[in-house]
Structure 1
Amino acid sequence: MNKMKLVILSSKLVGEKLGSSIYTEDGVMFLKKGSNLSELTIKRLRNIGMRTIYIDDGNDQVTLQEIIPTTIRLGLTKSLREVFEEALKTQNVNYSKVSQIIKEILENINLSENAVLINNLVPKDDIAKLCNHSIDVTIYSIMIGIRRKLNERKLINLAIGALLHDIGKLFTKGQEHTKIGYQLLKSNTLFSPTSYMCIYELYEKKDGSGPLGIKEDKIFEFSKIVSICNAYVKYINDEKGILPHVALERITAEAGNSYDEEIYKDFINTIYCYPNGLSVKLNNGQDAVVIAQNKDSATRPIVQVKENGKYNFYNLLSNLTLFIVEVNL
C-alpha cells in the first residue's frame, strides 16, 4: 500500500517527503518519490502549475490507486500533443490518432472507488497544460458516461468530445475558441455531431445564461457532461490550489442555475470529495485520515483515527452519527 497524504502545495511542507514521483512530459523523472521538499522545490513545483501533491506521511493503511497509470498517462500526453500540433499546422484533426487515444484510456482506466488522478506530470508549455487538462476532463466524462450506462459507441463519441473540447484554444484564447473547435471537427466527416456539439455548447447553462442562450433539455446530454467536468478540473487546478471537496462545493453552489439535475447527481456520485490520504476532522472533534471509499457514497468514506496509542477504523456509512466537518490543511 502507498503511504500518502493529499495536501495543498505550500511552504508548510518544507521537510516533508514526496509521496509520488513527478515526471516531465518526456518521461524523465523530475523529482523522485521520497525526496525531501525544500522551499526551492516547492516554489519550482508551484511555478509549473502544481497546486496539490501527495506526501509520504508513514501511514501504510491508505489505499491508493491511479485512475490511469503514470506510464500510460505519459503516452497519452505525447499522442495528444501530436494531434494538437498537427491540427495547428494543417487545420485538420487526425480522427485515427484521437480514436487510438480514447481506446487506450478505455482499456486502462481504473474505475475503483479508491482510484485517484495523481497530478505528477510537469507541463513544459501551454500545449502540455492543454493536454493535461483535456485528458483529465475526458477521464471524468468517461466515468460519468459509464455510470449513465452509455453504450460503447456513445461512450467513445462522448470521450472524443471531451478530449477535444478545448482544441480551439490552439488558435485563440478568447471565448471564440468553442466556435473554432466546433468548425474544426465539423469539417471532418469522421467525427460524429454528438462529439463536436460538446465543444459548441461547452459554456451553456441550464438557465439559458450561457453565450448561446440554449437552456435545459435543449442542451445536448454529452455537452452537459463535458461542461461540468471541465468546470471541476478548472477548479481543482485553481491558481491558489484547492482540494476536491472545495471544488465540489463550488459546483454544488452553481448547480441550480448551471447544471442538469441528473447529470449533477451522477457527477457527485462519481467524484469522491474526500480522497484517500486526506486528513479530516470529525464532528466528535477527532482528527482522522481517509483510508478507503464506499462506492456511491462520496461523503461517507472509511477513516482511521488514532485513539489511546492505537489506530481504529470507522466506516462512516455504517457509523451514521459520525461525519466529516472539515478538512485539516
Structure 2
Amino acid sequence: MRLVSVSRLQPGMRLGKKIYSDEGMILLSDGVELTDSLIKRLGRIDIGYVYVQDSLTEDVVIEGMLQDETRNQALKVIKTQFQDMSGASGITKGFYHLDKKFSGVMDSILDEMSAQETPMIMLLEMHTADNYLYVHSLNVCLYTLVMAIAHGYSKAELRVIGLGALLHDIGKTQIPVKIVQKPGKLTDEEFRQMQAHTEIGYRILKDEPNIPLLSAHCALQHHERIDGSGYPRGLKGAEIHEYAKWIGVADSYDAMTSSRVYKKAMLPHQAVEALYVGSGTLYEQRQLELFRDRVAIYPLGLTVKLSTGQSGVVVKIDSTTPHRPVVRILTGPEGEPVAPFEMDLAVMLSVVIVDVAN
C-alpha cells in the first residue's frame, strides 16, 4: 500500500488502513472505495494522509506500534478518565481511580513494546483531530518508551517514565475546552492559562497513590528547555529531569506530525529536521541523536524521489539504518514507468532521497 496526501486522493482509490476516531472507533474500514464525498469528508475532519491499496506495493504491510485491542483500550481509558476530570469542580479533588486504570494500561503497553526486538517510532494509525488530547497522550507515551527502551532504562524506570508520558498533559483537563481546542492563535491571556497545565498536572498527580512522584514531575517539566526558555520555571540543563527531557522531544514531535484545524501535519523527516534546529538549545543533542536513530523518517508506503531522478515507494526499513530505506523504483529519471525493482539505500550510499510526495 501507499501513503497518500488527502489532497492527492482520487475517486476509485481504496483505503489500505482503517481510519479511527479519537476514541479508537473505526470511521472508515480498510478496503472502502473512496468517492468524491468521502474524500471531502476526510478533508473536513483534518486527516492529512491515508494509506491506499496499490497493486505495485500490495505486499507492503503497515503494522502499528501496538495491537489494535491494546491501543483502543488505552484510548478508551484516557478518554473516560480525562472526561471525568474535566467535569471536576476543582483541581484539588483526589482522583484515586487513576492508579488502577492507568497502571493497567501502562503494563499492557510495556509488555507489548518490550517484546519487540527493536521498537521504532512509526507513523501511527490515522485518527481524526476531534479531541487531539487523547491520541496525543498515547502517542507521546509510545514515542517516549521507544527512546527509553533504546536508552537502556530498567523495567521499573520505564514504568515511571511511561506513566509520566501518558499523563504529561493531564493538567489540560482543567483548562477551558474553548482554549485547549481553539483553532487559531491564542491570546496572551489564553496562552498564560494554557501554560498553567504543567503545574496543574503536577498538583493532580503528586498525591496520587501508586503514581510515582517522578511521573508527576514529568508533567511539571515537559515544557522546560535546556536554554531556560521553557516553562513554567525556566529551568536550564541539568535542572530539568532527564525523563522530562525525553518527553519534551516526543511531545514536540507528535505536535508537528499531527493534523490540526489550523495546521497541516509535517511528515516525519520534516519534523526531525525541525527538532534539530533546537539541538543544544532546546533539546539535548544526545537525545535527539537517539531519537533520530529510532524514528522511521521515511515511513513505509511513502513515495520518494531520489537524487538519480528515479521515484519509488519505501517498502522496507532496517532498524539499524532507518534513514536509508529500501525503495521500490517505479519511474525513471524522466518520470517514465519502469519495471519495478528495489534499491537499498543502505548499500547505494551515493544515492539520497531529495523529495517526497505530499
In the superposition, the TM-score normalised over structure 2's length comes to 0.84
- For the pair 1:78 / 2:76, whether they are aligned, the reply is yes
The worse-fitting range, judged by mean Cα deviation, of 59-68 and 6-15 is 6-15
Give the equivalent residue in structure 1 for 2:249: 228
| 8 A contact 2:201–2:219 mirrored in 1 | yes
2:152 to 149, 155, 175: 149
Alignment: residue pair count: 323
CA distance in 1, matches of 2:63, 2:8: 27
User: How much has 1:7 moved relative to structure 2?
Assistant: 2.2
The worse-fitting range, judged by mean Cα deviation, of 176-185 and 30-39 is 30-39
User: How much has 1:286 moved relative to structure 2?
Assistant: 0.4
Give the equivalent residue in structure 1 for 2:199: 179
User: How much has 1:113 moved relative to structure 2?
Assistant: 6.1
Give the aligned residue type for 1:119: E
- For the pair 1:245 / 2:266, whether they are aligned, the reply is no
Give the aligned residue type for 1:237: S
Mapping 1:1-329, distance limit 5 Å: 4-10=1-7, 12-24=9-21, 28-58=25-55, 59-88=57-86, 89=88, 90-92=93-95, 94-109=98-113, 110=116, 112=118, 116-122=122-128, 125-126=130-131, 129-172=132-175, 173=180, 174-211=194-231, 212-238=233-259, 239-306=263-330, 309-329=338-358
Q: Judging changes above 3 Å, is the alpha-carbon distance between structure 1 residues 92 and 251 closer, same or farther for their aligned structure 2 residues?
A: same
User: How much has 1:193 moved relative to structure 2?
Assistant: 2.4
Q: Judging changes above 3 Å, is the alpha-carbon distance between structure 1 residues 314 and 100 closer, same or farther for their aligned structure 2 residues?
A: same
In the superposition, the TM-score normalised over structure 1's length comes to 0.90
Q: Judging changes above 3 Å, is the alpha-carbon distance between structure 1 residues 272 and 115 closer, same or farther for their aligned structure 2 residues?
A: closer
RMSD value over aligned CA atoms? 2.2
| 8 A contact 1:283–1:323 mirrored in 2 | yes
| 8 A contact 1:15–1:37 mirrored in 2 | yes
SS at match of 1:318: coil
The worse-fitting range, judged by mean Cα deviation, of 89-98 and 217-226 is 89-98
Q: Judging changes above 3 Å, is the alpha-carbon distance between structure 1 residues 130 and 120 closer, same or farther for their aligned structure 2 residues?
A: same
| 8 A contact 1:80–1:101 mirrored in 2 | no
Sequence identity (%)? 29
Give the aligned residue type for 1:289: V
1:239-275: CA deviation from partner (whole Å, max 9, x where unpaired) = 2232111111111122232101111111111111001
User: How much has 1:27 moved relative to structure 2?
Assistant: 6.0
User: How much has 1:313 moved relative to structure 2?
Assistant: 1.3
1:48-67: CA deviation from partner (whole Å, max 9, x where unpaired) = 33222111122124242211
Structure with greater strand percent: 1
Give the aligned residue type for 1:299: H
CA distance in 1, matches of 2:275, 2:320: 18
Q: Judging changes above 3 Å, is the alpha-carbon distance between structure 1 residues 254 and 115 closer, same or farther for their aligned structure 2 residues?
A: closer
CA distance in 2, matches of 1:162, 1:75: 17
Q: Judging changes above 3 Å, is the alpha-carbon distance between structure 1 residues 26 and 244 closer, same or farther for their aligned structure 2 residues?
A: closer
User: How much has 1:302 moved relative to structure 2?
Assistant: 1.0
